[in-house]
Structure 1
Amino acid sequence: MSAVWNHFKLETESCPTATCNVCKLSVSHGGKDRAAFNTANLIRHLKNKHPAQYSEFTAATQIKTWSQPTREAMLKNKEKLPKDSDKAKNITAEIAEFIALDDQPLSVVSNVGFRRLMEHLEPRYELPSRSYFTDTALPSIHNKLRDHLLVMLSKVSAFEFTTDIWSSSVCLMSLISFTAQWIDSSFNLQRATLNVQHFRGSHTAEHVKQAIEEMLNSWAIEKERVHVIVRDNARNMKRAMEDLAVPSLGCVAHTLQLVVHEGLLSQRSVTDTMANARKIIGHFKHSPLAYSRLEDIQISLKMTVKRLQQDVHVRWNSSLYMLQSILEQKRALSIYTADHNLPATLTASQWTLMENTAEVLVPLEELTREVSKETATAADVIPAISALRRVLSREQTTDQGVRTMKRTLLEAVETRFAEVEKEPLYSIATLVDPRYKDRYFTKSDHLRFAKDSLIQEVMKMEENRVASKEPEAAEPVSKAPRQGAGSSLGSILDEILEERQPEAQSVSTTSADVQVWIYLSEQTIPRKSNPLDYWKTHATQFPSLAAVATKFLCAPCTSVDSERLFSAVSNILDENRNRLSPDKLEMLIFLKKKTCTLFGSLRVKVELHIEHMEEVIYQFFAI
């Protein structure tokens, strides 16, 4: 509505005159026909009779005049953008981001639909060829990121790595991964994907050793700075690390897989029941009609419509999920069997056996989830195994029919984790984690060995500090209240913590003994707290002990980082891109892992020829 009506009033919408609010004069605003109404007379009245109100009207309207563009301007708008212009470089960078982050094939820039889209969005932009993105755009970003990562790695004194080997199902290609973790000077955990390298030939220990050596050399990382490499439990991997003369640990998740596998196979009644459950689920998996009938029953029972979950041999926790899913549909399945046939039936005792089996496996599944988290470290292993031993050794009313399986699980845990408290990489990490300290060791001689090892590490750090003449300080550590746990395994951890108090010991005259004794005598922090936040706050109180913590608390306890990496690789190397070269595959996965934060969170535009790329990448890696 025109601003002139702020100064006039209409009796009705069809009235040919309007009344001035100032002088109350009736002014015509067009002919008698509504289609001819206008505001020209009203504006003229304000201009001639009421200058002040006319000024208000003109200020409110802010009339914009339109001028026809010149011939030169029209021709300029049709010209193609120069390739070195800021806008063209920004668009090209956005396309490179699109390819890297969304797992797009490099051929997307040649597709007709994509080119038509770019032509519609910016007709002046000339889309570069596929070879430009392949040979120039993406490698330019990759090389800059790699160079700055090299600078960062050169300043790190101790690394933890994970490695694994993966074979593609869509082409004849095997890849070996190499990921790194470390804690920086600000007590922040840093991660980097270093390599997803083509692994040719047989997977022998010698070939694995050579591949690891090549990757370490390519990043200028000496063996002395390798704190530990987390690998799977295969003999070739273990032998390769021994030949390479670097510390290594087996993946805890893989070890738990072997433990549960032994337990489930130990009792015939359990294996038979699970085999029947697989047959029933397989029946619904292969028959859409059967699934439709089951869904109708779920709806009639007002249940949430869910599909039954099949287990996978290489993931033991999928067996638990299978049992839980079929137990959840017990009523629906009972109604289904009344009218339809199934390839197997479950007796009342087998239903009870499945419930009891699931009850036994729940703490193991919880432990698997905990150690597979990105924040899990080697410090979590000893407390978790101590709690698991206690859970499996307790007699429960739900043990009927699964006692043999439960006993076998406990024996497998005792066998496969027998040396866990003797391993300094685990024991020292547990001691320097302020959530656990010395409260979860099961044998006193193991604890004494762990403390002696810790004191030796602290003394080494003190020697280095004396050489660099860094100041030291020692202040009492502030106490933090404990938090309760909401899970079965967590409740056992709290129970152990309440039972075991710090041991009284004579204080030695050495600074290392003093730091360790004062630190261990203090109360633990809540389990949900971040141990790195603790050391960030108390680094000035226990400087040498804090340095040991930065070395040991960055060690992961599983090779999950590498497995997650291969999940990302499978999204890039698929049926549509099964001829992608290993070098380009490694470049794309490196960019995807490195640019997710850079492009996604910071929304920094990576220009192909940006002058200040160094500052941008530094900000990215500092997150």
Structure 2
Amino acid sequence: MSVVWNYFQVSPSDVKVAICNDCKASGMRGGTKISAFNTSNLISHLRMNHSESYETFVQQSNEKKQQGPAGLKQKTQITLKESNEKRQKYAKDHPRAKAINRKIIECIALDNQPFSIVQDAGFTKLVEFLEPRFTMPSLRYLTDVCLPELHSVVYSHVEKLIADAVSISFTTDIWSSSVSQVSMLSLTAQWLDNDFVLKKSVLHSQECRGSHTAEAIASAFEGMFETWKIPKENVHVVVRDNARNMAKAASEFGVPSLPCMAHTLQLAVNGGALSQRSIADALAVGRRVVGHFKHSPLACSRFEDIQKELNMPVKKLQQDVSTRWNSTYYMMQSLVEQKRALSAYAADYELPTTLTATQWGIMEKMITLLEPFEQLTRDISFAEATAADVIPGVVSLTRLLAKTDESDQGVQTAKHTLLEAVGKRFDGVQTEPLYAIATMVDARYKDRYFDPDKKEEARNMLLKVVDEMASVGSDQEEDAAGASAQNPPPKRARTGRLLDMYQEILTENDVPKHTTGKLALQVHAYLGEATIPKTACPFKYWGSTQIRFPALARVARKYLTAPCTSVDSERLFSAVSHVIDEKRNRIHCNNAEMLIFIQKNLPLTYMDKGKN
């Protein structure tokens, strides 16, 4: 059996196909019958795509040729020079040594390991066992040579992807470390390629020194975009938080920006409901109860025993975070779920405080009231959520809050205040072109979620942008008539009262009025078709429909790049907090940024290798 099978495996669905263990690419085994199978294609794949594995394969093949039928090496005389060479350590510039060094840096970046791992006894023994001829590099060699080399490789790959993108959207945020005096400014990018496949990349997580003024941030933006040679005309939008300095920085830099929808929801819920006196008092008591178990292992173990006695799942109470309203929602949920266990605990042991019957009722009703907000927050935090989700989400949420329900008793004031807060925080979203046009070209929504007096204005916005982009485009316009595109498969299931509002709004809206003109007819035909399911993917829709609506497809490729939240930047800083932690609180910011860049963008190189 050929040693090439150390690097491949037979496809479980088709014996004629082999799958590469490294990049998961598939290749034919050389024929349609078993008797015709060979390994030529597999060896070529190794030689062209995996040079390290190919070298090992050649070495293993040569060793196998020296073995007899029983697997024993033939008695061949080797020279003293050859014997010494087999014991000699690799030089630093040896291909095998360089390949291992690269894998060590990848391990450090991907797994958030400290550079000092190369000095750990267990790791060094493992590497020595796997390759006795390899000499472990020094910390200085890793940080000064190996890390920049890998960063350069990944950087070149991302640079090529960015250069091919016509319209790019960005997210940005500022993060301050809790273990060192370091602040970092992020910049993430996302765009749609010609096949309407969403691409994402982390461009920067650089140190942000000094005061975080709008002028300083705008200057940092200028340096970032110059580094990547991204002209301002290619910047569709920058999504940032609601802080004034970030909004002013984007304005001074001269690029359009939008606030993060998740941050806006945070402000609406905090100001509209959680600040109510009775609700705030109930939450304060709940926090003290949760804190009692968080800070007492004995209390925690006693609580677990009670849960088991009551045949309840063993769960810990969740502590909320002031900057995340949904964490307060989850804390209330965990308290209400454990109401029986908490009552039993209070009967036998001492608690710092207890919730009254009225406060329990307030929590239960607030969970029901805030459930649509939590669902909307989850929806807009998905990787494929776009600015098109803002208007339908706000309109559906507003309609739901305006409805009266029996469960509102006791929280009517909070519900009314929430409705006012949502209306105030999201005032004007239907007339904001970046939101309106994105909603119109999202086949799940189109013009169905606009107020009657705003719908015509939204259509005119779309027609204007279609006309402007068509005048500079080179694609041939096609007739709007034709068979409707097949709906893309669902990507996720959604249930709940908020979804009912989406459907209710769709059923109330008619198709648009007839319009004239070539491009206008194309827009009319698109808007006249039924919307695709809420769970479908708008990117897949345009990937299969762009031939019928080429002018609209160009608009969709631009406006659907915009995310509706800065979640990508916030998730980036979650990774940064693992890089700059207590074990690495003195790491240089340049090295930290290179590690984060590699960690987030290295998978892009793996994916593209698999396509080749």
The two structures have a TM-score, normalised by structure 1, of 0.83
Check conservation: 2:250, 2:256, Cα contact below 8 A: yes
From 252, 259, 278, the counterpart of 1:269: 278
SS in 2 for 1:108: helix
Partner of 1:608: none
> Do 1:231 and 1:237's aligned partners in 2 also have CA atoms closer than 8 Å?
yes
Match of 1:254 among 235, 251, 263: 263
Equivalent residues of 2:476, 2:550 under 8 A apart: no
Match of 2:569 in 1: 562
Partner of 2:534: 527
Report the residue type matching 1:88 in the other structure: A
How far, CA to CA, are the matches of 1:235 and 1:211 in structure 2?
16
Alpha-carbon deviation of 1:77? Answer: 2.8
Look up the match of 2:321.
312
* Residue identity opposite 2:261 in structure 1: V
Within 5 Å, give how 1:115-264 maps onto structure 2. 115-264=124-273
Amino acid at match of 1:536: G
Q: How does 1:256-405 map to 2 (within 5 A)?
A: 256-405=265-414
Which deviates more, 149-158 or 196-205? 149-158
Residue in structure 2 matched with residue 547 of structure 1 by the alignment: 554
CA-to-aligned-CA distance 1:528-564 (integer Å, 9 cap, x gap)? 1111111111111111110000000110000000000
1:424 is displaced (CA, Å) by: 0.6
- SS for the counterpart of 1:175 is strand
Paired position in structure 1 for 2:430: 421
User: Contact 2:485 / 2:544 at 8 angstroms: preserved in 1?
Assistant: no
Any residues of structure 2 matched to 1:472-483 within 5 Å, and which?
Answer: 472-478=478-484
| Amino acid in the other structure paired with 1:506 | H
Separation (CA, whole Å) in 1 of partners of 2:529 and 2:70: 75
**CA offset digits 1:61-110 (Å, max 9, x no partner):** 95556555646354443222344444333322221221221112222223
Please give the root-mean-square deviation of Cα atoms over the aligned residues, in Å: 2.1
**Residue 69 and residue 210 in structure 1: after superposition, are their counterparts in 2 closer, same or farther (change >3 A)?**
same
CA contact (8 A) 1:159 1:182 kept: yes
Separation in structure 1 between the aligned mates of residue 486 and residue 92 of structure 2, nearest angstrom: 60
Q: After alignment, is 92-101 or 65-74 more displaced?
A: 65-74
Q: Distance in 2 between matches of 1:458 and 1:128?
A: 57
Superposition pairs of residues 463-478 of structure 1, within 5 angstroms? 463-465=471-473, 468=474, 470=476, 472-478=478-484
Counterpart of 1:458 in structure 2 is: 466
Secondary structure in structure 1 of the residue aligned to 2:164: coil
Q: Which one of 435, 444, 458 corresponds to residue 452 of structure 2?
A: 444
In the aligned structure 1, how far is the partner of 2:94 from the partner of 2:295?
58
The equivalent residue for 2:89 is: 80
For 1:296 and 1:469, the matched residues in 2 are separated by 69
Query: How many Å apart are 1:197 and its aligned residue?
Result: 1.1
Contact preservation (8 Å) 2:437, 2:559: yes
Q: Displacement of 1:278 after TM fit?
A: 1.3
Mapped contact 2:480–2:525 kept (Cα < 8 A) = no
Q: CA offsets per residue over residues 114-162 of structure 1, 9 Å max, x none? A: 3233222221112232222212222112113223322332232211110
Residue type of the alignment partner of 2:391: I
How far does the alpha carbon of each residue in 1:155-203 deviate from its partner, in whole angstroms, 9 at most, with x for none?
3221111011111111111110011111111111111111111111101
Tell whether the 8 Å contact from 2:475 to 2:550 is kept in structure 1 after alignment. Answer: no
Q: Counterpart in 1 of 2:515?
A: 507
Q: 1:212 is matched by which residue type in structure 2?
A: F
Contact kept? 2:185, 2:207, Cα under 8 Å? yes
492-501 or 566-575: bigger deviation: 492-501
Q: Percent of pairs identical after alignment?
A: 49
Q: Which segment is superposed worse, 132-141 or 367-376?
A: 132-141
How many Å apart are 1:249 and its aligned residue? Answer: 0.3
- Residue type matched to 2:208 in 1? F
In structure 2, C-alpha distance between the alignment counterparts of 1:471 and 1:347, rounded to whole Å: 68
- Deviation per residue, 1:507-546 (Å, 9 max, x gap): 21x2221111110000011111111111111111111110
Task: Quote the Cα distance in structure 1 between the aligned partners of 2:506 and 2:514.
Answer: 23
Q: Distance in 2 between matches of 1:520 and 1:70?
A: 81
Residues 162 and 178 in structure 1, CA contact (< 8 A), matched pair in contact too: yes
Structure 2 residue matching 1:154: 3-state secondary structure: helix
Change (3 A) 1:479 1:93: closer
Is 1:432 aligned to residue 438 of structure 2? no
Deviates more, 1:127-136 or 1:469-478: 469-478
Question: Alpha-carbon deviation of 1:578?
Answer: 1.1
**C-alpha distance in structure 1 between counterparts of 2:553 and 2:475, whole Å:** 16
State the secondary structure of the residue aligned to 2:190. strand
Quick one: distance in 2 between partners of 1:500 and 1:480? 22
Indicate how the Cα distance of structure 1 residues 481 and 583 shifts in structure 2: closer, same or farther if over 3 A, else same.
closer
- Given that 2:183 and 2:208 are in contact with CA atoms closer than 8 Å, whether structure 1 keeps it comes out as yes
User: Relative to 1, partners in 2 of residues 1:242 and 1:87: Cα closer, same or farther, differing over 3 Å?
Assistant: closer
Task: Please identify the structure whose Cα radius of gyration is greater.
Answer: 1
Partner Cα distance (1:435, 1:518) in 2:
15
CA contact (8 A) 2:444 2:532 kept: yes
Matches within 5 A, 1:484-499: 485-499=494-508
| Residues 397-440 of structure 1 deviation map (CA, whole Å, 9 limit, x = unaligned) | 11111111010000000111111101010010000000110111
Taking a change above 3 Å as real, the CA distance of residues 562 and 65 of structure 1, as seen in their structure-2 partners, is: closer
Residue type at the aligned position of 2:174: I
Letter in 2 for 1:462: A
- 8 Å contact from structure 1 (residues 197, 586) kept in 2: yes
2:124, 2:571 → 1: CA distance?
A: 33
Task: Quote how far apart the aligned CAs of 1:390 are.
Answer: 1.3
Q: 1:474·1:542 contact (CA, 8 Å) conserved in 2?
A: yes
